């Protein structure tokens, strides 16, 4: 068996030593300068035997133990292991440098607090730190111009103003037409253009360089005319492809334990195929662009849902590995970004709507 230092480590100083972070595995571990020295000797593949002999002053048994600790911490990796495959895939496909990679990988599969815990934390926090203002006024300006009412006589804005996130829904199924309209509004291809090299798809939402980095999937649980299961939406064909049947998890097992999602009859999942944007843009700012695009698509889906008197609850809190398995996406550059949970909303008396 051959080993070498992991290719996805970063180090920060702490108390005359270092804290190491493997952004692919999210492993964090303390590291002395001696350990760092040893790791630097493993930049090429070594057999375990050869690695054990790199520090001749250290007892062989102790070296064996230390190497095992470093393997467990993913500071070093074994050749042909799942982890070395993931590193190779990362090196081969990731084009946006290390800072964006740290953000991209280390936020996957986070553990989330429950709604109750988040609420309790806010109650504790407000006792010593007031919340920042959630809106501003023009109070400080001498000249303030009142604008005309926008909702009056404007059907589009009235529709948009009715969009709400309502997490309690009725047991009513979603119709195929409702789902179709939501998918088309968010993702449908409505034209194309050309640049100097390729044909570029155009849709109702803007896309950086028209690179169209999103694919949509549907988790149908109670949709008229659709067997429960996962489907891929082809925006080009405006069709749903049934994915091979497998166990159907509770939505909350995919959406970071959010139990309200278990009552939702249908979930649209947006996954970024970042390689489409990366192919054109070497600048990691394109990563920001790709995330912004999920917002555009999500908003259109939500407005279409509102038109059908549905709620489309958005969430970006995922159990990424489980979700990626369901969507059959893998690799360094493919990731679930946003989900819209469709349902017929119950009345929510806590909401005050302005006219």
Here's the x/- map for ligand FMN, 151-190, by CB under 6 A: it reads as: -------------xx-x-----------------------
Q: In the complex with ligand FMN, which residue's Cβ is closer, 63 or 272?
A: 272
Cβ proximity of 28 and 19 under 8 Å? yes
The β-bridge relationship of strands 214-220 and 46-47 is unpaired
Q: Is 54 in the site for ligand FMN (CB under 6 A)?
A: no
Q: Is 291 in the site for ligand FMN (CB under 6 A)?
A: no
Beta bridge partners of 215: 271
Cβ proximity of 174 and 310 under 8 Å? yes
Q: In the complex with ligand FMN, which residue's Cβ is closer, 134 or 197?
A: 134
CA distance 242 to 232: 7
Q: In the complex with ligand FMN, which residue's Cβ is closer, 210 or 269?
A: 269
Cβ proximity of 268 and 304 under 8 Å? no
Q: Is 317 in the site for ligand FMN (CB under 6 A)?
A: yes
Q: In the complex with ligand FMN, which residue's Cβ is closer, 115 or 198?
A: 115
Q: In the complex with ligand FMN, which residue's Cβ is closer, 11 or 259?
A: 259
Those residues with Cβ within 8 angstroms of residue 117's Cβ, 6 or more apart along the chain or in another chain: none
Q: In the complex with ligand FMN, which residue's Cβ is closer, 156 or 353?
A: 353
Q: Tell me how far, at minimum, the Cβ of 317 lies from ligand FMN, in Å.
A: 4
CA distance 216 to 194: 24
* DSSP structural state of residue 84: H
Lay out the sheet containing 266-273: strands in order across: 239-242, 229-234, 214-220, 266-273, 334-343, 311-315
Q: Is 19 in the site for ligand FMN (CB under 6 A)?
A: no
Q: Is 205 in the site for ligand FMN (CB under 6 A)?
A: no
Angle 277-279-280 from CA coordinates, rounded to 5°: 75
Question: Which stretches of the chain are assigned E, i.e. beta strand?
Answer: 2-5, 9-14, 17-22, 27-31, 46-47, 76-78, 189-194, 199-203, 214-220, 229-234, 239-242, 266-273, 311-315, 334-343
Q: Which among 38-46, 70-78, 146-154, 312-320 is the span making contact with ligand FMN, rule CB under 6 A?
A: 312-320
Q: In the complex with ligand FMN, which residue's Cβ is closer, 25 or 315?
A: 315
Q: List the one residue from 306, 315, 333, 335 that touches ligand FMN (CB under 6 A).
A: 315
Within residues 72-91, the interface with ligand FMN by CB under 6 A covers: none
Here's the x/- map for ligand FMN, 233-262, by CB under 6 A: it reads as: -------------------------x----
Q: Is 316 in the site for ligand FMN (CB under 6 A)?
A: yes
Cβ proximity of 247 and 326 under 8 Å? no
Q: Which residues bind ligand FMN (CB under 6 A)?
A: 164-165, 167, 258, 314-317
């Amino acid at each position: 068996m051959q080993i070498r230092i992991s290719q996805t480590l970063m180090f920060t100083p702490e108390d005359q030593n270092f804290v190491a972070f493997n952004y692919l595995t999210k492993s964090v571990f303390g590291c002395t300068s001696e350990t760092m020295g040893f790791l630097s000797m493993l930049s090429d593949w070594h057999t375990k035997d050869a690695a054990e002999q790199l520090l001749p002053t250290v007892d062989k048994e102790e070296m064996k133990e230390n190497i095992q600790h470093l393997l467990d911490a993913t500071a070093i990796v074994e050749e042909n292991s799942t982890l070395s495959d993931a590193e190779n895939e990362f090196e081969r496909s990731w084009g946006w440098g290390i800072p964006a990679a740290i953000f991209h990988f280390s936020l996957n599969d986070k553990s989330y607090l429950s709604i109750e815990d988040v609420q309790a934390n806010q109650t504790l926090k407000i006792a010593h730190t007031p919340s920042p203002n959630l809106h501003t006024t023009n109070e400080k300006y001498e000249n303030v111009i009142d604008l005309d009412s926008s909702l009056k006589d404007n059907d589009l804005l009235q529709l948009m103003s009715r969009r709400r996130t309502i997490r309690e829904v009725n047991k009513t199924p979603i119709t195929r037409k409702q789902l179709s309209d939501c998918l088309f509004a968010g993702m449908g291809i409505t034209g194309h253009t050309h640049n100097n090299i390729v044909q570029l798809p155009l849709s109702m939402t803007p896309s950086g360089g028209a690179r169209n980095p999103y694919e949509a999937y549907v988790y149908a649980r109670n949709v008229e005319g659709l067997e429960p299961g996962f489907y891929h939406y082809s925006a080009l064909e405006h069709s749903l492809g049934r994915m091979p049947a497998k166990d159907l998890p509770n939505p909350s097992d995919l959406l970071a334990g959010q139990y309200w999602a278990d009552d939702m009859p249908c979930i649209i999942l947006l996954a970024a195929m970042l390689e489409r944007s990366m192919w054109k843009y070497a600048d990691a700012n394109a990563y920001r662009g790709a995330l912004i695009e999920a917002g555009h698509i999500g908003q259109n889906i939500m407005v279409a849902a509102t038109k059908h008197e549905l709620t489309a609850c958005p969430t970006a809190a995922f159990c990424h590995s489980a979700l990626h398995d369901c969507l059959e996406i893998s690799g360094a550059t493919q990731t679930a970004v946003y989900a819209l949970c469709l349902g017929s909303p119950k009345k929510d008396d806590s909401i005050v709507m302005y006219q």
